[in-house]
Structure 1
Amino acid sequence: MEQFGGRYGEDVFRPEQAGEGERIDFGALAYDGITMARLRALGAGPGWRCLDVGAGTGTVSRRLLAEAGVTSVLAVDRDVRFLSERPLPGLDVLEADVTAPDFDPGRFRLVHARFVLMHLPGHDRLISRLAGLVEPGGVLVLSDAVDLTSGLPGSVTPGTPYTAVMRAMWQGLRDTIGTDVGWVPSYPHLLRTAGLLPVAAEIHVPPLQPGSPISRFWADTWQRSRAAMLATGLVDDTDVDAAVRYLDSEECAALSAGMLTVWGRKPGGTEPGGAGPGAGQEATDRTTGPVSSG
């Protein structure tokens, strides 16, 4: 296995760095609505015990309680300072490393992880482990980034300050902490291999607009990963500064990295309220595979 010297939260995106919580929240503003719509369509609600892996500032955990009305959420992160700032009834916080051999917090109706596994090695092993934390009849929901800067097969992606810097960012993060989004499209296969059935997926691709949460997220992310980006030799400071200005200009016409969400249900068990193991499948099947751009 290829080894990398750094880790997320240590070499880049350190939680103690001023403004890191706000950077995470900009991403949440861009993606939380899509995430919550999917979790509720899968049936998340009263009676559900949920595990939120790599919970960050806890926006999904709190919305599961406040909006979906789930019974409890265990929010897990390697650094829980943002999670501990705002206690909420039903929200339990655990400081832990999901890659640790002894990580086993119990069994849950929902296991959710967003923008987590792409930063970790051994993704096939981790997906199998997370699937093992799902109780019979429950669901595993994984979301990670899909890089669109290289274009879709057969397409032409125009060269812009944004695309040049995004390519350098992905390479810099890979070199520094092992981030790898290249295997994210294999999620459906990996969930099926882990014994989940049925498996389905959707992708959300937000447009970049001046002042939007996703544009502010990327600008802040570039500033915090600038050293790793410059080390690739693909860009210099002038390029990064130009890309930040581009994001905030009316000339910006591009798509953000996509968020691929994949989910699968563990066979057996019953839904809360006594429904059979297929409950919620109609909603899942109806929404398999849409592409959202707004």
Structure 2
Amino acid sequence: MSTAAGGGRYGEDVFRPEEAGEGERIDYGALAYDDTTMARLRALGAGPGWHCLDIGAGTGTVSRRLLDEAGVASVLAVDRDVRFLPDHPGLDVLEADVTARGFSPGRFRLVHARFVLMHLAEHERLVTKLAELVEPGGFLVLGDAVDLTSDRAPGTPYTAVMRAMWQGLRETIGTDVSWVPSYPQLLRGAGLAPVAAEIHVPPLEPGSPISRFWADTWERSRAAMRATGLVDDAAVDAAVRWLDSPECASLSAGLLTAWGRKPAEAGVPG
């Protein structure tokens, strides 16, 4: 990730890769969302012969499943910090910044980025840039969080802390999910058609991967959340307990996945 709109950096200022447990935090998110992501990629046809680009690959769970389950030909996994990406047959690893003007790793049948652009500025430019990396007939698939803690959401410890988290991350590293529902329009503006989108909301249950993910994420972002003035340490601790209680009844942030297809070149099968 590059410098964000708020002036901070994702991996340097809040979610530091060198901190103990950061790889496990990423994996909890993967456990919550990977099945949904893979179902969509498989439905779009990801399979033998496909060369794929996985942006912000994290610990490489989607990259590896594309290779092992979908049987794609290759995956190039890209991240600014690649320490969590393992050696794996068919997996190539590139340490790079997707926002860099010179980022141009080639063209791919599938370009996928999940929980990446929400942390970065220049959304329209980046969507257009990623669309340029898709070969004719291929797909750009983007996934990011949608905040479901509206003013009408129940006033629970979870809701209060989630609101503080979104505001704190926006003010420190520039995270902004307010624009995520505009993905279909951005994909169409980048020349892709048809486009479509779907939302998955994993259940918050005691001990579930998504509950563990949020608890760990709040711990990483605790200082940023306190700085908003919306919560204190006691409120964060209460929300963690809420996640592990049978009374927990809230909606997790959802994953909005949007995709578009680059038109095939005239006379070339798509």
Instruction: Compute the TM-score of the two structures, normalised by the length of structure 1.
Output: 0.89
Give the whole-Å Cα distance in 1 for the aligned partners of 2:22 and 2:175: 18
Partner of 1:292: none
Counterpart in the other structure of 2:178 = 182
Which stretches of structure 1, 4 residues or more, deviate above 4 A after TM superposition?
none
- Show the counterpart of 2:90: 90
Superposed displacement of residue 88, structure 1: 1.0
Q: Write out aligned runs for 1:87-166 (5 A).
A: 87-150=87-150, 156-166=152-162
Distance of 1:148 and 1:194 partners within structure 2:
27
Cα distance in 2 between the residues matched to 1:251 and 1:226: 23
User: Residue 276 of structure 1: CA displacement?
Assistant: 3.7
User: C-alpha offsets along residues 220-245 of structure 1, whole Å, 9 cap, x if unaligned?
Assistant: 00000000000000000000000000
- Counterparts of 1:275 and 1:212, CA distance in 2: 46
Cα deviations by residue, 1:108-136 (Å, 9 ceiling, x for unpaired) = 00000000000001011000000000000
The residue type equivalent to 2:50 in the other structure is W
Distance of 1:234 and 1:9 partners within structure 2:
24
Q: CA deviation at 1:269?
A: 4.5
Q: Distance in 2 between matches of 1:130 and 1:275?
A: 22
Contact persistence 2:146–2:254 (CA under 8 A): yes
Residue 13 in structure 1 maps to residue 15 in structure 2: yes
Say which SS state the counterpart of residue 243 (structure 1) adopts.
helix
User: 1:14 offset after TM fit, Å?
Assistant: 0.5
The one-letter amino acid of 1:5's match is G
Aligned counterpart in structure 2 of residue 214 of structure 1, from 206, 210, 220: 210
**In 1, are the aligned partners of 2:192 and 2:262 still within 8 Å (CA)?**
yes
Structure 2 residue ranges without an equivalent (≥5): none
- Report the 3-state secondary structure (helix = DSSP H, G, I; strand = E; otherwise coil) of the residue aligned with 1:60: helix
Between the aligned partners of 2:5 and 2:23, the Cα distance in structure 1 is 28
Q: Distance in 2 between matches of 1:170 and 1:148?
A: 11
State how far apart, in whole Å, the 1-side matches of 2:168 and 2:174 are.
Answer: 9
In 2, the alpha carbon distance for the partners of 1:67 and 1:193 equals 32
Aligned partners of 1:247 and 1:275: how far apart in 2? 52
Pairs within 5 Å for 1:237-248: 237-248=233-244
Per-residue Cα deviation, 1:183-226 (whole angstroms, up to 9, x for no partner): 00000000000000000000001110000000000000000000
Secondary structure, counterpart of 1:261 in structure 2: strand
Q: 1:252 & 1:103 partners in 2: Cα distance? A: 44
Query: 2:46 & 2:115 partners in 1: Cα distance?
Result: 20
**Matched residues in 2 for 1:143 and 1:233: separation?**
30
CA distance in 2, matches of 1:246, 1:269: 53
Displacement, 1:89? 1.1
Equivalent residue, structure 2, for 1:282: none
Aligned residue type for 1:107 = R
Q: What is the CA–CA distance in structure 1 between the aligned matches of 2:66 and 2:161, rounded to whole Å?
A: 35
State the SS of the aligned residue for 2:183. helix
The answer on 1:224 being equivalent to 2:224 is no
Match of 2:84, SS state, is helix
Q: Which secondary structure state, in structure 1, belongs to the residue aligned with residue 100 of structure 2?
A: coil
Q: 1:76: Cα distance to partner?
A: 0.1
**Identity value in percent:** 81
| 1:6 alignment partner AA | G
Q: Is the 8 A contact 2:157 2:235 kept in 1?
A: yes
Matched, 1:41 2:69: no
Q: Partners in 2 of 1:100 and 1:237 — Cα distance?
A: 37
User: TM-score, normalized by length of structure 2?
Assistant: 0.97
TM-superposed deviation, 1:275: 9.2
